[in-house]
Structure 1
């Protein structure tokens, strides 16, 4: 059996840390998200402490700090993401030692966060900034490869709902992802995205082109959307997209673009075409809506591609998000020789 987990009903909550008073709201949101995810025992309070520690660090020591709270894309739990624009940490290992808070630097409290979090991913560069992803995972849940995936899905500034939708289906060692961007933003765009996700959930193992055709029929009574389906199995990726969803496959060799065809799903669907890419040697697959202006940045640099998917998604969303539009990025790390 495959698992279909989607974030369409629970967008990422993003908080700009521009004042000490923001930290209380961030901790409250993390606690509520942990309770909603069914995390047991002390884990909701641990989520609040982690969010508070990360937020306090950004408020005291960093520039352009942002905290995000969201459900895990796979399994039962939450992740708390943090990003800033500097000053960064020169000795990350030292900052992870308990008691480092006495030095009064950006690394304050990271040792405690590492003890409380189920997983903690960190990357920091002096002068550039720091990204962090702390995950709290229900120990009674099904074991799933959380480390292979990362995402961020934030609504446009001022909106409570996102017009972007994201769903992921796993079947054995393979998986299929849907990324959809309802035209515009706000409730009408969110309705189009929700209808697309519901259609995907009905039969996610259809061939990608047939899935897009099914979405087209379901979205005819909505304002329409851009949409893309990505299937990875057996060392091969199949991509089929219509509209402004962009994709890239990144690795040690040449970058490979995953191009969507022009059109609007639900309004003007051009016959979908499938692009196939060899992933037998591994690689990083990136999908994003046009709320992130990330394609050029990814093509220009190699270093960030080495980051764990959760950190790469956090980095791209922080640096390349368009505030006036919904923004979604999905990062998936393909394993060598496997789907």
Structure 2
């Protein structure tokens, strides 16, 4: 969705995962609703919805988890709930949403009531595969600035046994107006950040606003030249890439080397550099992140810029997988070897065209690359966060931190 200030983006931060913990999920939701100012009545509705969703997943899902996190923009903060499971799925989603239909043993309010309570509710389910459910709760009356759907969404999950994640994703809008972009950086950062190190869950931190500072703007790039093929098929290698007019959307995926607190520190440094930097092209952003990661263990990083005319500029270092995906095709985007912050060769930016009805998908090596366009074919018309959660369920492993970020062309 495009608003007066550009494509809609929402900050997404401080995730907390719950597995087989309905009481803990309800308690965390109640505390969170009070802290971010949802109001007593709205918080009670959030807790009621969490009770239905978490009890459902505990009693009837296979390998089910509930993710609770904060959404915000400069005007308001809300709560997003994502429920992901590996089966058995729903054969008839509309029937499951009708009043009077509730899983045996739940509180009995049913998914239809959850749908009415939430400001945004989305379900994707495939029998035998599993279900992804998304519910968002904002203070009422609903602020106009959060109406519609954000064009970027993602998800992170730490390796089994860890409470901090060394992966991160972040997105911001570049208007081409230095003053406007500086004002945007003064807003809460649009990112899903790893939990603080050491790994202590502090709900009050979910509402804290960080201090922003502007970086210096890189010199004007030289004219570009093009050649070559990428691993995804026809693309254009761009030297001295320049940002186009209008609202561009910059997206970064970062995988701190290894896992645990030290990997999280590296990804936090990358996210902070992305937020505060002045880079407008993927190469400029990558250079800023490279400088910020010196002294850390380094990271694999990929940066993309989505232009209003459908062009996608991409620059990647390390093993972040990236692709432009439709229901029938997957065009892989080419990254180059190296470790951002430690060893990085000459940067290369590739230009692609976003396919109609498609999406940009970037993920860390906490997901297998053995997924196909068919795995996303029924997901692509859902919100980016639901697509990301569905891909994590399909291809995620427990042997490493995992993250997925999905961006759609603004319409």
TM-score norm. by structure 2 comes to 0.73
Structure 1, unaligned runs of 5 or more: none
Tell me, yes or no, if structure 1 residue 153 matches structure 2 residue 153.
Answer: no
Tell me, yes or no, if structure 1 residue 132 matches structure 2 residue 133.
Answer: yes
Give the Å deviation of 1:108. 6.5
Q: CA RMSD in A?
A: 2.7
Identify, as 1 or 2, the structure richer in helix.
1
| Offset from partner CA, 1:94-136 (integer Å, 9 cap, x none) | 2212222387699961011011111110122223222211111
Distance in 2 between the 1:198 and 1:149 partners?
18
In the alignment, what sits opposite 2:397? Answer: 322
Aligned length: 329
Give the Å deviation of 1:81. 1.1
CA contact (8 A) 1:250 1:284 kept: yes
In the alignment, what sits opposite 1:59? Answer: 58
Query: SS in structure 1 opposite 2:83?
Result: strand
Give the Å deviation of 1:42. 2.4
Out of 294, 298, 301, the position equivalent to 2:372 is 298
| Offset from partner CA, 1:233-274 (integer Å, 9 cap, x none) | 121111111111111111256421122211000110111211
CA contact (8 A) 2:327 2:374 kept: no
Give the Å deviation of 1:224. 0.7
Out of 229, 237, 253, the position equivalent to 2:312 is 237
Of residues 80-89 and 207-216 in structure 1, the stretch that sits farther from structure 2 once superposed is 80-89
Counterpart mapping for 1:217-256 below 5 A: 217-234=291-308, 235-251=310-326, 254-256=329-331
CA contact (8 A) 2:10 2:150 kept: no
- Counterparts in 2 of 1:204 and 1:33: CA distance versus 1, 3 Å: farther
Of residues 146-155 and 238-247 in structure 1, the stretch that sits farther from structure 2 once superposed is 146-155
Distance in 1 between the 2:360 and 2:18 partners?
27
In the alignment, what sits opposite 1:201? Answer: 275
Counterpart mapping for 1:80-91 below 5 A: 80-91=81-92
Give the Å deviation of 1:204. 4.8
- Counterparts in 2 of 1:287 and 1:106: CA distance versus 1, 3 Å: farther
Give the Å deviation of 1:325. 1.8
Query: SS in structure 2 opposite 1:135?
Result: strand
Give the Å deviation of 1:174. 2.8
Distance in 2 between the 1:26 and 1:36 partners?
15
In the alignment, what sits opposite 2:198? Answer: none
Give the Å deviation of 1:287. 0.9
In the alignment, what sits opposite 1:44? Answer: 43
TM-score norm. by structure 1 comes to 0.87
Give the Å deviation of 1:225. 0.8
Query: SS in structure 2 opposite 1:244?
Result: coil
Query: SS in structure 2 opposite 1:227?
Result: strand
Of residues 249-258 and 71-80 in structure 1, the stretch that sits farther from structure 2 once superposed is 71-80
Distance in 1 between the 2:376 and 2:58 partners?
30
Distance in 2 between the 1:148 and 1:319 partners?
22
In the alignment, what sits opposite 2:228? Answer: none
Counterpart mapping for 1:1-339 below 5 A: 7=12, 10=14, 12-17=15-20, 22-72=21-71, 76-101=77-102, 109-138=110-139, 139-140=142-143, 142-143=145-146, 145-171=148-174, 173-234=247-308, 235-251=310-326, 254-279=329-354, 281-293=356-368, 295-299=369-373, 301-308=375-382, 309-335=384-410
